[in-house]
Amino acid sequence: MQPEKTKYFFSWPNIKFAMRELVKIYSSKPSFLSKKRVESGVGFIIAEWGMIYFLLENIKTVGISGFAIWATIQFFIAGYIINQIQKEKKEDQ
């Protein structure tokens, strides 16, 4: 008896599907993905990496108050993005 093949998340068919759907969100064809959610997700990832990079570069000079401000901004960005996504869900219903 042969073992079943395991499916990997980053398999070639999944990558092709994701690429096709990303192309469709900027065309007139219907897409599985939401353009607003993809764009807000990309914006969130860019903001997160920028904040992490800032912290890693300045970790030796940042005091507790600076870290508290950094964490506040971090939570503000995350909350804003989640609020925008939830607002879109409510408007679509």
Count H helices and E strands in the chain, helices first. Answer: 3, 0
The C-alpha atoms of residue 82 and residue 93 are separated, in whole angstroms, by: 17
Residue 66 confidence class, pLDDT cut points 50, 70, 90: confident
Of all residues in the chain, what percent are helix, strand and coil, respectively (each to 5)?
Answer: 70, 0, 30
The C-alpha atoms of residue 36 and residue 39 are separated, in whole angstroms, by: 5
Q: What is the pLDDT of residue 18?
A: 84
Question: Please, how many CA atoms are within 13 Å of residue 24, restricted to the half-sphere of its CB?
Answer: 12
Question: Pick the residue with more confidence: 31 or 93?
Answer: 31
User: 93 near 86, Cβ under 8 Å?
Assistant: no
Q: Where are the domains of the chain?
A: 34-92
Closest Cα to residue 54, out of 88, 77, 84, 79? 77
Q: What is the pLDDT of residue 88?
A: 65
